[in-house]
Structure 1
Amino acid sequence: MDVSQLVAIDVHTHAEVSRDGHDSLSPELLAASADYFKAHGHRRPTIDETAAYYAERRMAAVVFTVDAEHATGHPRIANEEIAEDCAKHPDTLIPFASIDPHKGRAGVREARRLVERYGVRGFKFHPSIQGFAPDDRLAYPLYEAIEELGAVALFHTGQTGIGARVRGGGGIRLKYSNPMLVDDVAVDFPDLRIILAHPSFPWQDEALAVATHKEHVHIDLSGWSPKYFPPQLVRYANSLLQDKVLFGSDYPVITPDRWLADFAKLDVKDTVRPRILKDNAARLLLREQP
């Protein structure tokens, strides 16, 4: 991947459908997400289509699914499939995986295999959907493996549109996505590189505190149009966290075109803008110095 030729690196995109048409979430939860993001009728692209979309824009993108089989009973999209399809587009796509922490030792073995054989660069956790608190020792063997492998752990934080307005929220508990629960993880695994995904409503200040205090904790800006960012998030991105904030869209429910158009209107310093769009991600994910 020639980073010098890229306009941006999107650290947060979803593989929503498998090669054989299997959805990443149940129809009920997918419908709730589409309603929340006002994305009814949006097409769920294949990974090849995602690659073409980003290549046309001279961008790279991190791609992952969510493994929440224990809590939802819905079979995941295979991590191996995502990694294999991303490998066909090495100049554009960066494969992440997702492993339900409830899988225990089997999950640890899978993490090692995915990094060592398939080139996976990181792992996506969605505590609310997966039904676990990030600081639960249940997940610690998996974190230990990810840290040892030099991969990244990306945690959904804040409210989620998945399950929104479904009866009982579809069984999804928002409390698990408080970013303060990741603080223990950052203490107990001090070399683990962590991304707190999304502006963390209603816990934005907690996310800023953890990212400011812990060396390897970053924040991605996906899931929201920049015009809705809390003012304190913009202030910290412009100052204390200018090297730890990352562009992410949440594609396909939010497109990078929409996100970047709104970001261009945001009061961000000219010296900080390229760090958010590309340089910070290149350093974190590709170990490249801008």
Structure 2
Amino acid sequence: MRIDIHTHAFHPKIAAKAVAHLNEAYDLRCEGDGTVDHLLACERAAGMDRCVVLCAATTPAQVIPANNHARELQRIHPEIIAFGTLHPAYARWEEELHSMERGGLRGIKLHPDFQGFRLDDPRLLPMFEAAQGRFLFELHIGSAQPASTAPSSPQQLAAIARAFPGLTLIAGHFGGYLMWDMAIDALAGLDNVWFDTSSTSPFVTPHLLRRLLDAHPLERFLFGSDWPLYDPAEEQRRLQRIGGLSDSALERILTNAEHLPGLL
């Protein structure tokens, strides 16, 4: 089964605004319009069977609406696996974990940059502890800032992975957007960390992408398009071309998520 592990789809009322924000934040032109219908059309055209839609709350007050949106997406669309979210300033997080679990959500997305906290915020520690064995975590990792001041970094992720060996962690963007050299060293040999391929191939040299692919076993890589930023079909072609991947290696990356513990 081919699975795109890293996508976003917004409520129709805010999709255009969300895409405009992404265009401004990342100085690009998104390939998708942000709606679930366009997402699923693009995934079908790219030969994908399922996709993970990631929801994140930029404020504590948005945790419940974001998780309700995730549950609704998953209920209506069998092709979608939706991840909910938490926020370190959300006081009733234990109750929300139970609610997400009852509602069939399998994962949690954290994006420290957009959510306004650091990944090493101590308020997250009891959440990680309670989520072990219950939820996967998809984490945005990386920043244009220095690692010492960045909201997230490969070093921060490595500390979480070692402190909570029962967590299944998916490191976004090959483990560190714009921090790829750090990610190679900091995240080597961590048994509970997987790597999604999103938002990397447009920015790296073939040599660096090959180093990233050689840094971990092939089964640790999960295909991610970061739609609506990028089209999944074009992302497959770019990943294969720049990374020098054989057809069989690319197919492994496209299907590895099927075997990710707790996803299906």
TM-score (norm 1): 0.77
Aligned-pair CA distance for 1:245:
1.3
TM-fit CA distance, 1:197 = 0.4
Residues 1:282 and 1:84: Cα distance change in structure 2 (over 3 Å): same
Map 1:187-266 → 2, pairs under 5 A: 187-199=162-174, 200-225=176-201, 228=204, 231-238=207-214, 240-265=216-241, 266=243
Match of 1:113 among 96, 99, 102: 99
Asked if structure 1 preserves the Cα contact closer than 8 Å seen for 2:18 and 2:34, the reply is no
Measure the CA separation in 1 of the matches of 2:228 and 2:209.
24
Contact 1:208 1:233 in 2 (8 A): no
Q: Partners in 1 of 2:8 and 2:18 — Cα distance? A: 15
Cα separation, 2, equivalents of 1:12 and 1:81: 16
Q: Which whole-Å deviations, capped at 9, do the CAs of 1:101-141 have from their partners, x for residues lacking one?
A: 2213x1232122112x2211211111122222222221012
Match of 2:7 in 1: 13
Counterpart-to-counterpart distance in 2, 1:268 and 1:229: 14
Match of 1:125 in 2: 110
The residue correspondences of 1:80-99 to structure 2 (distance < 5 A) are 80-90=68-78, 92-99=79-86
Which AA in structure 2 matches 1:179? P
Q: Distance in 1 between matches of 2:19 and 2:263?
A: 38
Contact 1:23 1:77 in 2 (8 A): no
Residue number in structure 2 paired with 1:51: 40
TM superposition shift of 1:80:
1.8
Q: What SS class does the counterpart of residue 101 from structure 1 fall into?
A: coil
- Residues 260-279 of structure 1 correspond to what in structure 2 (within 5 A)? 260-265=236-241, 266-278=243-255
**Deviation sequence 1:238-283 (CA, Å, 0-9, x none):** 46331211110110111102201212323124543222111x2111
Distance in 2, Cα, partners of 1:100 & 1:158: 18
Residue 155 (str. 1) matches residue 139 (str. 2):
yes
Letter matched to residue 75 of structure 2: A
Q: CA separation in 1, counterparts of 2:218 and 2:19?
A: 39
- What secondary structure sits across from 2:260 in the alignment? helix
Output one character per residue of 1:52-81: Cα deviation in whole Å (capped at 9) or x when no partner.
4424544111002221115xx878853122
* Preserved CA contact (<8 Å) 2:19 2:30: no
Flag the 1:28–1:76 CA change in 2: closer, same or farther, 3 A: farther
C-alpha distance 226-271 of structure 1, shift in aligned 2 (>3 A): farther
Partner of 1:141: 126
CA displacement 1:69-101 (0-9 Å, x = unmatched): 15xx878853122222222222x2111111112
SS of 1:194's partner is strand
Equivalent residue letter for 1:139: L
Shift in CA distance, 132/227, structure 1 to aligned 2, threshold 3 Å = closer
Give the fraction of aligned pairs with identical amino acids, expressed as a percent.
Answer: 27
1: CA distance, partners of 2:166 / 2:205:
29
Q: Distance in 2 between matches of 1:285 and 1:226?
A: 29
TM-score (norm 2): 0.84
Measured against aligned partners, the alpha-carbon deviations of 1:28-63 in whole angstroms (never above 9, x if no partner) come to 844513x612338x5221x34433442454411100
The residue identity in structure 2 corresponding to 1:118 is G
The 4+ residue runs of structure 1 with deviation greater than 6 A are 24-28, 73-76
Q: How many residues align?
A: 259
Question: Structure 2 unaligned runs (5+)?
Answer: none
Cα shift at 1:201 = 3.8
Aligned to 1:164: none
Report the Cα offset of residue 229 of structure 1: 5.2
Moved more, 200-209 or 24-33: 24-33
Are residues 1:68 and 2:52 paired? no
CA distance in structure 1 between the aligned counterparts of 2:63 and 2:82, rounded to whole angstroms: 19
Q: Distance in 1 between matches of 2:120 and 2:95?
A: 21
